[in-house]
Amino acid sequence: MNAVFALSIPQTMLKQKLQARARLLARIRQYFAARRVTEVTTPVLSRHAGTDPSLEPMRSHYTGPGHARGLPMYLQTSPEFPMKRLLAAGSGNIYQICPAFRDGEHGELHNPEFSLLEWYRLGYDHHQLMGEMAQLVMICLEADLPVEKVSYQQLFEQFFPWDPLIATKQQMQASAEAYPVPGAGDMNLSHRDEWLDLLLTHVIDQHLGRDRLTFVYDYPASQASLARLNPQDKRLASRFELYYQGVELANGFHELADSGEQRGRFEEENEQRRRSGQQQIPLDENLLAVLDDLPDCSGVALGLDRLLMLKLGARSLDQVLSFPLDRA
């Protein structure tokens, strides 16, 4: 069996997809080279991973000198932690194109291994980074698109009769049942953010960025993750997401540079993991040791496979990946 049949893709289509991906990567590298943003490479395999309960890392073991019993390792869910260590060491503006891995994710918009573009800009807040991201995405899509910015609070109030910053779980569950979100009436989600995420992904997402780039910003502080809080309103996180054609493309932060606050967030996320029966993740002490030295910057991660899918008019990631899960 030749390689084309092994891929189950006609040869002409295969070449078109490979060439389209190559052009996309070339445009990205050209864009950053013109702005003197340095391309970097960091390890894909690490002794640490993010603690976010919504992202499950893939696990591995190293067995060798000094670790005869095996050293627990993780495949990165993003290169964020080592890139921040480079920033704290004085790297300046940097970007990376790399594989990322997330367990339990497979579907039209998910593959357990996928390609990620992540970059950091010194002296930028998250609104400035949104502007740069819009420019780069339009270059990649070869399209001149309107840009819309809407706060998380404003967005939810367009769909529901309550404020997402103060709504109760009962109000959110009632709205989920009314839409309806399948099975919402029987769900027992313990955290407010779980209900907000359910409504965002099942009700709101599909309406965003239909003929434009839509940035959603100022997420609730409880969803800050690695972002700093809004200095004018501590209920809000300086975080944004980008949507196009109903698809989430990117997630960005005005980066937190406070090791004590970040440690507390990691510990709280691990406690959420414990309560939900998930395995807890060792804290990345290497990151925490240098986080106070992180320069003022904003960073963002962009899903390249999703971007390519939208560029080519494909309906699923399988149509733009040479070796998705079922053919890996």
State which residues of the chain have pLDDT below 70: 1-10
Pairing of strands 58-64, 67-75: antiparallel
For the chain, counts of helices (H) and of strands (E) = 10, 11
Token pair for 157: 């109030």
pLDDT given at position 1: 44
**C-alpha to C-alpha distances, 25 to 20, 193, 298, nearest whole angstrom:** 9, 35, 22
The pLDDT tens digits for 124-147 are: 999 999 999 999 999 999 999 999
> Is the pTM for the entire model greater than 0.85?
yes
pLDDT given at position 68: 84
CATH annotation of 3-146+211-327: 3.30.930.10
Domain range summary for the chain, segments of one domain joined by +: 3-146+211-327
**C-alpha to C-alpha distances, 223 to 33, 157, 174, 251, 325, nearest whole angstrom:** 33, 18, 22, 12, 30
pLDDT given at position 4: 47
**C-alpha to C-alpha distances, 50 to 26, 229, 286, nearest whole angstrom:** 30, 19, 13
pLDDT given at position 306: 98
Q: Is the peptide bond before 180 cis (omega within 30 degrees of 0)?
A: yes
**In angstroms, rounded to a whole number, what is the distance separating the alpha carbons of residues 253 and 261?**
15
**In angstroms, rounded to a whole number, what is the distance separating the alpha carbons of residues 94 and 80?**
11
The pLDDT tens digits for 232-280 are: 999 999 999 999 999 999 999 999 999 999 999 999 999 999 998 999 9
**In angstroms, rounded to a whole number, what is the distance separating the alpha carbons of residues 133 and 252?**
10
